[in-house]
A and B are shown apart, each in its own frame.
Chain A
Amino acid sequence: MQHLSASCDAHPQPALRAEALLSAEGLYFSRSGRNILTGVSLDIVAGETLTLIGPNGAGKTTLVRLLLGLDVPDKGIIRRRPGLTIGYVPQRFDLDPALPMTVDRFLGLGLGSAGTPSAIASTLAEVGASGVATQQLASLSGGELQRVLLARALMRKPQILVLDEPVQGVDYLGEAELYALIGNLRDERGFAVLMVSHDLHVVMGSSDRVLCLNRHICCSGVPTAVARHPEYERLFGRRLASAFAVYEHNHDHAHDLAGDTVIPSPDPASIPADVPASSKSHAARDDKDAAQ
């Protein structure tokens, strides 16, 4: 079981799990003399949702890029299970309008025999975007584009779905729907989800584990404990407040985040830090682990 670490640096990183699909150990990355990641370790196992949160400039996107192999760490090891397929939904997708590309052509692009018209149609239906199959990619709305990008990732039958701020350019209602969709797809298909998010509501509601990053891992754990605490309402109750209230803490001091927002006094013992976010999915995973 993962715990909310009471402090960041004082505790050693939890041991990486042997059954991990993807793990990173002691990643360091700097650019132009600026340290972006210092000693970051994490792992992700089948079926879990791991969410990366942290202030701007915390290195969330850098970490994702390292895990995807888009950049190479200065130091540290990234291990992928052999044959691992990752589906990636990028943060930005600015297709040059000079490139004509229909949605269905995009979904089949580079897939060879797996990109049959029926596979494309059924994946589009799964993400609720059947109507846009023959439209130009450049003409889609933000929400439609996100669903199409999600479909593109699903076409590859990933074991891990990586989403970097998946709801940018999507309205509030569309955002909730998109997260619900990702959750449902995860439950149906059993892939793991690694997500970068600014939205703490989502983090609380749909993640199995949260990893708070500010160049190093500040803390990680099950989000329920946070969500149950009265302080949660004060800090995260209003959506807009959340982005600022949490992120403007000085993360360089290890105890700020943990002390003020994660396990605030007076009575940390009353917080059941071990209760998983969704007991059902955890139980299912434990069964699967036991069976292996």
Chain B
Amino acid sequence: MIESFIVQAFLASAGLAIITAPLGCLVVWNRMAYFGEAIAHAGLMGVALSLAFRVNMTVSVLLVALAAAIFVLALSRQRLVPIDSVLGLLHHGTLSLGIIATGALTGPSVDLRSYLFGDIYAIAPGDLYWLAATGAFVLGALFVLWQPLLRVAVHAELAAAEGVPRHRVRAAFIILMALAVALAIKFVGILLAVAFLIVPAVAARPFSSTPERMVAIAMAIAVAAVAAGLYGSWTWDLPGGPSIVLAMALAATGSLIWVGISKTR
């Protein structure tokens, strides 16, 4: 007999995967995986603020993630140091700040593990409604903005020369991405949140000939990995979120190995 918390965990993870898959494709196309990591790690600060001031955690994580995104954009205006190094600085800096702030604001008794790794089995029905509402918003916004988002990903300057307001499109994308990361943190934790975005996209790339197909395949792979991960977690008593991410990672690794083999043949 299937327990209801397993069903809830499946609904939450599969819903999250469907929301994050298209954003993850855009993240991969725009080479923004590091950017996602940086804003996810900044999310710990949001956790600290939420615990200290008893505000909704998704909202506080979202606000901190957006602040981190603005900070990254400000730091990337200089040209002495490449952006990936700036992101490395930010990602460790915000993580350290978050750990210190959590301790200082809430006392040493708080166990950070559930925020770093999440607990997919601790989902309340209210979380599912929240996920559904935010997910509908994110997917709706992506549907409306899809063409300009894609044009900016293909060639930002060509798109701008053709009249796409690239800065506004990019800002909208960053907001959606911060929203997805904040959602993912709630379910799979800070350290694994970005995996939900990029790993299914990586797994889908070798089988995709158009951007939309890549999104569809990434969604399918992600939902399959959620099912496989939860099955493994249930069968062998493994932690839920990491099992799902491991299943995604195995799919991505397999798909990249397949490309390597089929190229050399």
Instruction: Considering the complex, give the chain B residue whose CB is closest to the CB of A91.
Output: B157
Q: Are B210 and A102 in contact (CB under 8 A)?
A: yes
Q: Which of A22-30, A93-101, A188-196, A267-275 contacts B (4 or more CB under 8 A)?
A: A93-101
On chain A, the number of residues with a Cβ less than 8 Å from chain B's Cβ atoms is 22
B147 within 8 A of A: yes
Instruction: Considering the complex, give the chain A residue whose CB is closest to the CB of B158.
Output: A90
Known contacts A93-B155, A110-B162; A98/B28 CB under 8 A: yes
Instruction: Considering the complex, give the chain B residue whose CB is closest to the CB of A149.
Output: B158
Residues of B within 8 A of A156 (CB): 162
Residues of A within 8 A of B158 (CB): 88, 90, 93, 152
Q: Are B208 and A106 in contact (CB under 8 A)?
A: no
Fill in one digit per residue for A66-100: 1 if any B CB lies within 8 Å of its CB, else 0: 00111000000000000000101010010110111
Q: Are B209 and A100 in contact (CB under 8 A)?
A: yes
Q: Are B164 and A99 in contact (CB under 8 A)?
A: no
Bound together, the chains give a CA A69 to CA B161 distance in angstroms of 7
Q: Least Cβ distance of B237 to chain A in Å?
A: 36
Bound together, the chains give a CA A109 to CA B157 distance in angstroms of 15
Sample of 28 A–B contacts (CB below 8 Å): A68-B161, A69-B160, A70-B160, A86-B161, A90-B161, A93-B155, A93-B158, A98-B28, A98-B29, A99-B29, A99-B153, A99-B154, A100-B210, A100-B211, A100-B214, A102-B209, A102-B210, A105-B210, A105-B211, A109-B147, A109-B151, A110-B148, A110-B150, A110-B151, A110-B159, A110-B162, A110-B164, A136-B209
Q: Are A70 and B161 in contact (CB under 8 A)?
A: yes
Residues of A within 8 A of B92 (CB): none
Instruction: Considering the complex, give the chain A residue whose CB is closest to the CB of B207.
Output: A100
A144-182 with Cβ < 8 A to chain B: 152, 156, 162
Partner of A70, one of B157, B201, B211: B157
Known contacts A100-B211, A110-B147, A110-B148; A95/B155 CB under 8 A: yes
Fill in one digit per residue for B150-191: 1 if any A CB lies within 8 Å of its CB, else 0: 110111011111101000000000000000000000000000
Bound together, the chains give a CA A252 to CA B210 distance in angstroms of 50
Inter-chain residue pair count (beta carbon < 8 A) = 61
Residues of B within 8 A of A95 (CB): 154-155
Fill in one digit per residue for B27-49: 1 if any A CB lies within 8 Å of its CB, else 0: 01111000000000000000000
Known contacts A69-B160, A109-B147; A100/B155 CB under 8 A: no
Bound together, the chains give a CA A68 to CA B20 distance in angstroms of 35
Bound together, the chains give a CA A99 to CA B208 distance in angstroms of 9
Residues of B within 8 A of A105 (CB): 210-211
Most buried by B among A70, A93, A100, A102: A100
Q: Are B209 and A106 in contact (CB under 8 A)?
A: no
A11-45 with Cβ < 8 A to chain B: none
Instruction: Considering the complex, give the chain A residue whose CB is closest to the CB of B160.
Output: A70
Q: Pick the 5 closest A-B CB pairs, nearest first.
A: A88-B161, A99-B29, A68-B161, A100-B208, A110-B147
Q: Least Cβ distance of B93 to chain A in Å?
A: 27
Known contacts A109-B151, A110-B147; A100/B162 CB under 8 A: no
B205 within 8 A of A: yes
Residues of B within 8 A of A98 (CB): 28-29, 201, 205
Q: A86-B161, A100-B205, A101-B211 are in contact. List 8 more A-B contacts (CB 8 A).
A: A93-B155, A95-B155, A96-B30, A98-B28, A99-B154, A102-B209, A106-B154, A109-B150
Q: Least Cβ distance of A33 to chain B in Å?
A: 14
Q: Least Cβ distance of A196 to chain B in Å?
A: 14
Bound together, the chains give a CA A98 to CA B164 distance in angstroms of 22
Partner of A90, one of B155, B205, B211: B155
Bound together, the chains give a CA A100 to CA B211 distance in angstroms of 6
Instruction: Considering the complex, give the chain B residue whose CB is closest to the CB of A67.
Output: B161
Residues of A within 8 A of B205 (CB): 98, 100
Q: Least Cβ distance of A156 to chain B in Å?
A: 7
Residues of B within 8 A of A109 (CB): 147, 150-151, 154
Q: Least Cβ distance of A154 to chain B in Å?
A: 13
